[in-house]
Amino acid sequence: MNSIRQERTREYIEEKHVVTIRELQALHPDVSLMTIHRDLAALEQMGVIVKVRGGARSVRHTGDLGHEERLRENNVGKATIAAKALSLVAPHSTVFLEASTTNLMLARKLPDMDVHIFTNGPDIALELCRLVNPSITLCCGTINRRNMSLSGQITLDMLENINIDLAFVGVSGCSAEAGFTCGTERDMLVKRKVIQKARTSVIMCDRAKFTRLMPYTFARFSDVDYLIGDGFVPETISQQLGLNGVKVL
């Protein structure tokens, strides 16, 4: 019975791409919440799903997750990454926080220091408004409601005139073959331009991203200086990062 139930759960998650625990309880009303969590743990161990906060997603889902889904995903890992990133932020520097939920976590942890921050994430800019000392500039552009980012030619034109000391860039997928990937061409162009303009570029990458391959490559390993993770990097990727001189934190 366990294998039949788990197979039904797997099929349901692959059909829906991302599901909540509440949906799984409705799917299996005759089993306990603990049993559902055990089934998810077993399916994750098999490598067919990834548990996220409040639910699970299919590893076969290659579409870019929406903002609300990202906010629920691996917040412990994102907090770990944000804490590491703080060690790189120096007073009086110019920092770019590219639109991502990991950088939103970094904005929440940033101390009230004298630093000039640019971002194309409206939610990041609003979060930083709680602080007094940072100078905050929100880049102009067309808003993508799905991932809460600003992009387009007007964004690229603005970035052309910005000198960036340190850029923190989010990633939707990462592989040794494709490098760092994202879901839309507009986001690819912004991420690529930010990396080109930055003296030091940092990729913010939690373990969930190593199971994804997205359509657009915005950088190769040789293009960046740091990768900050949440404690797990696949061996094949770790080797390639080392060969390209990328520091892993």
Q: pLDDT averaged over consecutive 10-residue blocks of the chain (249 residues)? A: 83 80 91 92 81 74 56 73 96 97 95 97 96 97 90 97 97 89 92 98 91 84 97 90 96
Assess whether 85 and 44 both reside in one domain. Answer: no
Q: Are 166 and 200 in contact (CB under 8 A)?
A: yes
Q: Is residue 174 a part of any domain in this protein?
A: yes
Assess whether 36 and 113 both reside in one domain. Answer: no
Q: Which of 11, 33, 61 is the last residue of a domain?
A: 61
Q: Which residues contact 230 (CB under 8 A, 6 or more apart)?
A: 74, 76, 77, 78, 80, 81, 206, 207
Tens digit of pLDDT for each residue in 178-207?
A: 899 888 899 999 999 999 999 999 999 988
How many folded domains does the chain comprise?
Answer: 2
150 beta partners: 143
Q: Is residue 11 a part of any domain in this protein?
A: yes
Assess whether 199 and 102 both reside in one domain. Answer: yes
Q: Exposed (0-12), middle (13-18) or buried (19+): which is 196, by Cβ within 10 Å? A: middle
Q: Is residue 34 a part of any domain in this protein?
A: yes
Q: Is residue 103 a part of any domain in this protein?
A: yes
Assess whether 54 and 112 both reside in one domain. Answer: no
Assess whether 173 and 241 both reside in one domain. Answer: yes
Assess whether 21 and 47 both reside in one domain. Answer: yes
Q: Tokens 């939920």, residue?
A: 101
Assess whether 98 and 155 both reside in one domain. Answer: yes
Query: Domain holding 52: CATH number?
Result: 1.10.10.10
- Using the 8-state DSSP alphabet, how is residue 100 labeled? S
Q: Which of 40, 61, 82 is the last residue of a domain?
A: 61
Assess whether 139 and 234 both reside in one domain. Answer: yes
Give the closest residue to 91 by CA, choosing from 128, 132, 126, 133: 133
Q: Is residue 89 a part of any domain in this protein?
A: yes
State the number of CA atoms in the 13 A half-sphere of 226 facing the CB.
19
Q: Is residue 66 a part of any domain in this protein?
A: no
Domain around 128: 71-248
Q: Are 69 and 61 in contact (CB under 8 A)?
A: no
Distance CA 45, CA 10 (A): 12
pLDDT, residue 177, reads: 84
Assess whether 50 and 81 both reside in one domain. Answer: no
The DSSP element (H or E) to which 67 belongs, if any, is helix 67-72
Assess whether 202 and 133 both reside in one domain. Answer: yes
Q: Is residue 39 a part of any domain in this protein?
A: yes
Q: Which of 15, 38, 61 is the last residue of a domain?
A: 61
| Phi, psi for residue 5 in degrees, rounded to 5 | -65, -45
pLDDT, residue 58, reads: 77
pLDDT, residue 57, reads: 76
Q: How far is the CA of 204 from the CAs of 16, 35, 97, 210, 246, in angstroms?
A: 27, 33, 10, 12, 13
Assess whether 241 and 150 both reside in one domain. Answer: yes
pLDDT, residue 111, reads: 96
pLDDT, residue 3, reads: 78
Q: Is residue 158 a part of any domain in this protein?
A: yes
